[in-house]
Every structure is written in structure tokens, then in C-alpha cells.
């Protein structure tokens, strides 16, 4: 009576173990990418919200005067995303609507995510 495993049994066991380990590793990598993507989206939404919070301390005239000044809006929050930039736009997209009250503004945060462009836009209305 022989004890132990045959070479064939060892090869089959090794293949099964390899398939299981590769599956677990791919799930880990996929979950890691999803967590990173969710983290970046959360940071971008926080930054856009921070710009809106800053706008609350400004008059409507001050908001209008800085509308095209991306340097001003980018200095409002502590940016941590890769190549992050912040843009404030009038959602009506014409200069005549900057005189509307309430004024509907969008804050767009753009950044690079694993070499791809990503962005999030939040919209809010402001009045004097």
C-alpha cells in the first residue's frame, strides 16, 4: 500500500489552487480600483461643495465678477486630485443670464484618473 499523492494529483491540486488565487487577486485589484474611484469622486464633490460654501460668503456681484477667473476658484479649496481644476459656469450658458436672480451656477471639478479625464458637476442657485 502506497502513501502520498501521485504527480497527477499534485498538478491538479496546484491548478485548482492557482485558479482560486488568481480569482481572489483579480477581485482585490478590481475592488482597489473601485475604492480609488469612489475616493476621487468624494474628494471632487467635497471640493465643489467647498466652492459653493465659499460663494455663500460672497455677494452676487462678487460671484459674477469672478465667474471667468479660474485662478480665483482654484485657490478657494485645497486641491488634492491629480491635475485638478475647478470651473464655475452659468448653467444658462450665456452672458445675458448672469443678470438673472436667482442665478443658477455649476461648479465643475476636472481631474485625471488613471490617465483618463474625469469630472463632476454640482449645480446650485444663488440670490442676493
Residue pLDDT, tens place only, 20-55:
999 999 999 999 999 999 999 999 999 999 999 998
Amino acid 95: pLDDT? 54
Predicted confidence at residue 93, as pLDDT, reads 56
pTM of this prediction?
0.75
What are the domain boundaries of the chain? 7-126
Report the pLDDT value the prediction gives residue 37, as an integer from 0 to 100. Answer: 92
C-alpha–C-alpha distance, residues 19 and 12, integer Å: 11
Position 73 scores a pLDDT of 87
Q: How confident is the model at residue 98 (pLDDT cuts 50, 70, 90)?
A: low
Phi-psi domain of 91 (left: phi exceeds 0; alpha: psi -120 through 50; beta: other): alpha
Amino acid at each position: 500500500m502506497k502513501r502520498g499523492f501521485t504527480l497527477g494529483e499534485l498538478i491538479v491540486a496546484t491548478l485548482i489552487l492557482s485558479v482560486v488565487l488568481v480569482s481572489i487577486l483579480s477581485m482585490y485589484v478590481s475592488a482597489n480600483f473601485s475604492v480609488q474611484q469612489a475616493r476621487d469622486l468624494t474628494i471632487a464633490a467635497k471640493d465643489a461643495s467647498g466652492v459653493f460654501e465659499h460663494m455663500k460668503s460672497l455677494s452676487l456681484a462678487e460671484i459674477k465678477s469672478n465667474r471667468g477667473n479660474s485662478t480665483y476658484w482654484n485657490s478657494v479649496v485645497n486641491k488634492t486630485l491629480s491635475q485638478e481644476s475647478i470651473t464655475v459656469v452659468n448653467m444658462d450658458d450665456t452672458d445675458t443670464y448672469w443678470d438673472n436672480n436667482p442665478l443658477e451656477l455649476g461648479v465643475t471639478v476636472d481631474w485625471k484618473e488613471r490617465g483618463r479625464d474625469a469630472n463632476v458637476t454640482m449645480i446650485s442657485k444663488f440670490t442676493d
